[in-house]
Structure 1
Amino acid sequence: MAVKKFEDLVVWKKAQDFAVLIYEDFSNLKDSSFKDQILRASVSISNNIAEGFDRRTNPDFIRFLYFAVSSNSEVRSMLYLSTKLNYLSTENANLLIDKSNEISKMLFGLIQSMKKTAD
């Protein structure tokens, strides 16, 4: 059965949950520029999945999935930095990094499957 709406994609759901965790962990951060950047990047992951899905062509969807990968990588990079700046504990950052890596694997898997159906 083909997926009919982006809300049915497991990777979109995981990206939404990931953004919620980022919001929770950085809600009290005083560094507003860092906070704004990581929050926007985390939201961008699921938004790019949704936007690409509703473009209704495989090449467009693939392009937006790569945007989602890039946003996810940006969040992951900022998570590493957050430990160096003492914004998050290493343990908490590593849990979030693991979730980010899981989302990346899922996105790359979806990209590969979309490329196969595009051939």
Structure 2
Amino acid sequence: MHKVEDLKIWEKAMKLTKEVYFLISELPPDEKYGLSSQIKRCSVSIPSNIAEGAGRNSTKEFKHFLSIANGSCYELLTQLILITELNLINKEKVKPVIDICIEIQKMNYSFQQKL
């Protein structure tokens, strides 16, 4: 088991989730139950799965949950790109969040290799 609060990837994923919540507050109201809801769910899934994996009893289980978190990160990246392509939020506002997402993907891969 790992202490989740000591994991840099978890800290970065928590930051990402907060940034996503601030960002999507700018989406039009008609997206409240569409993209907005989906983006929130997958962003919360990233640190949640990292935490769940950290609490498991084996490295194999931890890697499994890191893999799920990575999938959620790719899902989030796709949705962030989509909101820019649909011109729902300015690309310059979304780019820093995309950058954090990509950084977490790299951290996740590296972390799994070290485990």
Q: TM-score range by the shorter chain?
A: over 0.9
- Post-superposition shift, 1:68? 0.5
State the identity as a percent: 38
Distance 2:81 2:2 in 1: 36
Matching residue within 15, 18, 34 for 2:16: 18
Distance 2:84 2:2 in 1: 40
- Post-superposition shift, 1:22? 0.3
Distance 2:106 2:38 in 1: 23
- Give the structure 2 partner of residue 92 of structure 1: 93
Specify which structure has the bigger relative contact order, considering alpha-carbon pairs within 8 angstroms and separated by 6 or more residues. 2
Runs of 4+, deviation exceeding 3 Å: none
> What TM-score do the two structures reach when normalised by structure 1?
0.89
Unaligned runs of 5+ in 2: none
Distance 1:57 1:44 in 2: 20
- Post-superposition shift, 1:82? 0.5
> What TM-score do the two structures reach when normalised by structure 2?
0.92
Distance 1:101 1:69 in 2: 10
